[in-house]
Structures are given as structure tokens and as C-alpha cells.
Amino acid sequence: MKFRKMILLTLGLTILAAGAGRCQLTTDEALSKFVAAGMAYKDGRYDAAISLYTEILQGGRVSGPLYYNFGNSYFKKGQLGKAALNYERAKKFIPRDSDLKFNWQYIQSQIKFYGAEGEGRGIAQKTFKRFTQFYTLDEMVMILLGLVLAMGVISLLAMYFGWSAQRTRRILASLFLVFAVFTAGLLGKITFERDIAVIMDDAESYFEPRADSTAHYKLSEGMIVKVLKTEGAWSKVQRSDGKIGWIDSQGLEKI
């Protein structure tokens, strides 16, 4: 698995998603632990790296590179479930990162039925999913705000310069079309990511939410499923091939 250059990872950690008011670690403290974790990883001390990355997360600091390295450390320990979980979390921050994409694709090749429900069920669905995964939620929101601002500016320019109604409508219609596409993408991304979880260990799914129920099918460590319903200590999940079953909720973790 690839290990990103330390300078890029350090720079990435400075772009923190957590608000400063909620952070227990200062930026300098987080960077110090991050660098130490990177050195531990390079030395093959994966448990030490994981411990340091955990301290950073518990200190209220999160970033794409942090989750990426977290995933690398778990992969080196052979824990595909936690590796997949952290790669998926990293994708929320750095979806276009080439190293993350490489490692994520490798994880996919190791796990049967990796993708969440609905993946690969048609060109339109696959295209839409790729579109939503290309941007982060923040990027989509900023693009939508920019489009609203652009439509307002165009309207003012049209009035000021006396553009024809046809020209103005054509420009505004084009912007609105892009706005509609990104709105659909944003809603689709939120809906898709809301109930997605990763299987932490190999497990059996059952026809009913109880341990003495009949086993239905197996779930592999690292597999991504869609959580349809939670009932007590059980979760009703859907595999990528559409099969539905119940598993102990402790056996999965939401992305």
C-alpha cells in the first residue's frame, strides 16, 4: 500500500473539519502527533501509529489525510474492516486523491460484494454515483451558492445593459440546469451516505432479528452495506446484490 509523503500529509492535516471551539488539541499538538504517527508507520509500529491517530481524533481533529493514514495502518495489520471504514471516511474529505483512490480500489479487490446497495445497476446510476463521489458536501454547497450568486448577477447585468429577454432567459436557464443537477447530486450524496455502514468482522445475517433465527447469508469483513432499519440490538442491512438480512449492530459501524 502506498504511504503519502510526509509533507503532503502534514499540510493536509492543517485543513481541519472540526471547529476550533470543539478541539481539545491545538494545531501544533495535532501536527506533532500526526508526524510521530507517520514515523511509527514507516518503522512498522502500526499499533503505535493507530494509537496516535486515535488521540488526534479524540482531540477533535479530523481530516482526509488522517483517515487515509488510519486506514493504511489498519490494512497493514490485516484489519480490512477498519481499513475500509477509514478509507470511506477519508473519501468524504479528499474524494479525488490519487493515493486514496489506489488503496480504496485495492481494498475493493480483496472484498466480495464491496459496494453499497445499488452500485453497478445501470449506466445512469453509476454515472450519478461517480458524480456525487467526485465532490465533497462542502464543495457542492459552495458551488450551489456560487450558482445562486451568478444568477443574481446575471439578472442585474441584464437590467443594467438592457439585454433581450431571450438572451437573459437562455443564460439563466443554463445556470438553473446546472443548479438542478448539483442540487440532485447533493441530495443524492446525503441520502446515500446517511445509512451506509462497514462490516467490522465476518458475520452471519439472519432472517429475523434474533440469534436463534435461521442464518440467511454471510457478510465479509470490510463489506459495505446499507442499514435499512434498527431494532433493539439488531440492524436490518442490504448487501450490494440486494439481499437483506439482520445482524448484530455491534458488528458494523456507520461511515
Q: Are the C-beta atoms of residues 116 and 196 closer than 8 Å to each other?
A: yes
Q: Are residues 161 and 144 in the same domain?
A: yes
Q: Which amino acid is at 106?
A: Y
Which one, of 5, 4, 30, 6, lies nearest residue 16 by Cα? Answer: 30
Distance of CA 188 to the CA centre of its chain: 13
pLDDT of 89: 95
Q: Give the chain's largest Cα–Cα span.
A: 75
pTM: 0.84
Q: What is the CATH number of the domain that holds 98?
A: 1.25.40.10
The conformation of residue 15, written as its DSSP 8-state character, comes to S
Q: Are residues 33 and 59 in the same domain?
A: yes
Q: Are residues 186 and 136 in the same domain?
A: yes
Q: Which amino acid is at 186?
A: L
- Note down pLDDT in tens along the chain; length 255 residues: 544 444 444 445 444 444 444 568 888 899 999 999 999 999 999 999 999 999 999 998 899 999 999 999 999 999 999 999 999 999 999 999 999 999 998 988 888 766 654 454 678 888 888 899 999 999 999 999 999 999 999 999 999 999 999 999 999 999 999 999 999 999 999 988 888 999 999 999 999 999 899 999 899 999 999 999 999 999 999 998 889 999 999 999 998
Question: In the chain, which ranges are E strands?
Answer: 196-199, 203-206, 215-219, 224-231, 234-238, 244-248, 252-254
Q: Are the C-beta atoms of residues 253 and 197 closer than 8 Å to each other?
A: yes
Number of residues in the chain? 255
Sign (positive/negative) of CA torsion 120, 123, 129, 134?
positive
pLDDT of 8: 46
Question: In 29-104, which ranges are E strands?
Answer: none
Q: Are residues 154 and 215 in the same domain?
A: no
Of 86, 110, 134, the residue at which a domain comes to its end is 110
- When divided into structural domains, the chain yields a total of 3
Of 193, 213, 228, the residue at which a domain comes to its end is 193
* Domain with 226 in it: 196-254
Q: Are residues 167 and 90 in the same domain?
A: no
